[in-house]
Structure 1
Amino acid sequence: MVRDANELPKIILTEPNGSSAEVLLYGGQVVSWKNERSEELLFRSTKKSSKPPKATRGGILIFFPQIGNLGVLEQHGFARNRMWSIDRDPSPFPPANHSSVNLILRPSDDEDLKICPWSFELRLRVSLTAGKLTLIPRVRNTDNKAFSFTFGLCNYLSVSDIGEVRVEGLETLDYFDNLMDRERFTEQADAVTFDGEIDRVYLRTPTKIAIIDHGKKRTFELRKAGMPDAVVWNPWEKKAKALTDLGNGDYKTMLCVNSAAVETQIVLKPSEEWQGRQELCTVSSSYCSGQLDPGRPLYGFSSLHR
């Protein structure tokens, strides 16, 4: 374990082919994922890194126990703004060929219990293999009563130019448009492209989504389980200037495509556990149409209530 520029503890994962990932204990946040050529695949704001109690804008963020801004909880919940611990007793153990770290978050004090009045364990496994980054979140109800929550993995992807990007796999799906008071629409285009601000929650999405970057001739493949929805977000120029932790021109080189459980809350009875899974990989391709298989399951994982 090392320290980052803000003196926050950080775990560095590496694998034999040369790719790497960096994970902060603060927020359980993945702040870097580089391929075997040391190219950064995740976006991070060009503005100076934030210090606690605010998470750095970029990388992969954990949204729990809510997505959005509701009630007394801070926007997108508090998991991204808490110090996590190393999970010394992960179950199941990661495969031997994976470079992994296992983190855990529990309510830390009476303040947490005031804003979230139930007991839980939130675990996160981050695993790195050649060309792939896998995140496995798990939430266990350790309380004596049932509770519900929403959950998201917010993926800030690094792109060449937002105007050169298209997202496939969301066509014909319904979505909530957060820019129009969550009005519900149906996607009419054969792919999502970008020429202005976008903030949509696509519902009941396939297990695989492709983010095609024509400028870099690279496609991100996002596979997910246990998180049926997907959020697509880019602030564009005006909103970017209003965000204090984002550079004015940063919107041009970033796109968020998030794995999420938003429309229907996850409900856990005492001792039950929910599990999700997200895999990110890249392929050298500028076009991916026709390669998506929405019906193909994500091997070996689904939403689990145990």
Structure 2
Amino acid sequence: MGPSAEVWDQRTAIEVTKDWNGIDQVLLRTPRGASARVSLHGGQVISWRNESGEEMLFMSSKAIFKPPKAMRGGIPICFPQFGNCGSLEQHGFVRNKIWTVDDNPPHLHLNDSKGKSSIDLILKPSEEDLKYWPHSYEFRLRVSLTTDGDLIMISRIRNISGKPFSFLFAYHTYLSVSDISEVRIEGLETLDYLDNLSQRERFTEQGDAITFESEVDRVYLSSPNVIAVLDHEKKRTFVIRKEGLPDVVVWNPWEKKSKSMVDFGDEEYKQMLCVDGAAIERPITLKSGEEWKGQLELSVVPSSFCSEQLDSHWRGF
């Protein structure tokens, strides 16, 4: 990378604006034109565009952008629970909180040639938060956009209380697709999954790839760290790479459920698919002072890549 590119990174790679609620948003950009927008409402990535300006993430046209309501789309962060499995609100509470920029982030080892445009955020519980989840923590989030336009999210959760606590976690990633009936997922074949449409009963995936013709709400267990989502119509493949996240959530609400959600368009299920790097089957337990790290990397490649090429291409991750 030459000096001019380095100057570009320093001066214009990061821009801070405010939304109509006065909440800061951070725009990350690359010299080639890719971008990502992160809202301090939830620490949520709400946009990720490629070098041509094409949006890679789905955001509902009916999404409600007003705290404390979570935003429908992008990449909400689910912590300390996923679903309605406890006394807390669905998918936990950090996606509804206002995060702050972390002025003193810990050093994270990132490939310097890949991670140039980054923002570090931090969330700590308030006194009110501790009343309904009585555990002290520091949640640090780094969102990076590589020079190639790949999106990297690194979460670090540290237990700063005097007693252990357990949690579930997911990057609830809403991918934008051309038509859900034209999409397939590779990398989850033969895996066991919990079916949330059948009281979390455990099944084994039988198909060569996962395709969609009705509502799907599953947690695939002990999954590989590289998953591919192929969009035939757009001739592109999302490559999802993950660390510290053993499970993968696959969700599409289909027609009936879409009509029951006030912040989701009746027909929008056709243009989205959630594929989440997650830790759900076995809760993560941190002793006092311990830290957990979960990383997600999203990239897009031409669909001429097949799963065997993906395995070899990204083996070094």
Aligned to 2:44: 29
Aligned to 1:304: none
Alignment of 1:116-265 (within 5 A): 116-129=133-146, 130-265=148-283
The alignment partner of 2:309 has SS state of coil
Query: How much does 1:2 deviate?
Result: 0.5
Code of the residue aligned with 1:132 in structure 2: it is: D
Aligned identity (percent) is 58
In structure 2, relative to structure 1, the CA distance for the partners of 1:75 and 1:291 (3 Å cut) is same
User: Per-residue displacement from partner, 1:2-48 (whole Å, max 9, x unpaired)?
Assistant: 01244321000011111000000010000000000000000000115
Q: Is the 8 A contact 2:228 2:239 kept in 1?
A: yes
In structure 2, relative to structure 1, the CA distance for the partners of 1:200 and 1:286 (3 Å cut) is farther
Code of the residue aligned with 1:225 in structure 2: it is: E
Aligned pair 1:276/2:294, yes or no? yes
Code of the residue aligned with 2:181 in structure 1: it is: G
Code of the residue aligned with 1:144 in structure 2: it is: G
Aligned pair 1:66/2:104, yes or no? no
The answer for unaligned runs of 5 or more in structure 1 is: 300-306
Aligned pair 1:99/2:117, yes or no? yes
CA–CA separation in structure 2 for the residues paired with 1:40 and 1:272: 37
Number of aligned positions between the proteins: 298
Q: Is the 8 A contact 1:213 1:286 kept in 2?
A: no
In structure 2, relative to structure 1, the CA distance for the partners of 1:286 and 1:162 (3 Å cut) is farther
User: Per-residue displacement from partner, 1:195-235 (whole Å, max 9, x unpaired)?
Assistant: 00000000000000000000110100000000000000000
The alignment partner of 1:193 has SS state of coil
Tell me the TM-score normalised to structure 1 length: 0.94
CA–CA separation in structure 2 for the residues paired with 1:288 and 1:8: 41
User: Per-residue displacement from partner, 1:50-95 (whole Å, max 9, x unpaired)?
Assistant: 3111121000010000111133210010000001111111111564
User: Per-residue displacement from partner, 1:102-158 (whole Å, max 9, x unpaired)?
Assistant: 00110022x211111110001110000123000000100000111111111010000
Q: Is the 8 A contact 2:41 2:96 kept in 1?
A: yes
The answer for unaligned runs of 5 or more in structure 2 is: 1-15
Q: Is the 8 A contact 1:168 1:192 kept in 2?
A: yes
The alignment partner of 2:25 has SS state of strand
The alignment partner of 2:262 has SS state of coil
Q: Is the 8 A contact 1:147 1:268 kept in 2?
A: yes
In structure 2, relative to structure 1, the CA distance for the partners of 1:31 and 1:180 (3 Å cut) is same
The alignment partner of 1:60 has SS state of coil
Aligned pair 1:83/2:101, yes or no? no
RMSD: 1.7
Structure 1, 44-53 or 114-123: larger mean CA deviation: 44-53
Higher helix share: 2
CA–CA separation in structure 2 for the residues paired with 1:147 and 1:54: 26
Query: How much does 1:291 deviate?
Result: 2.8
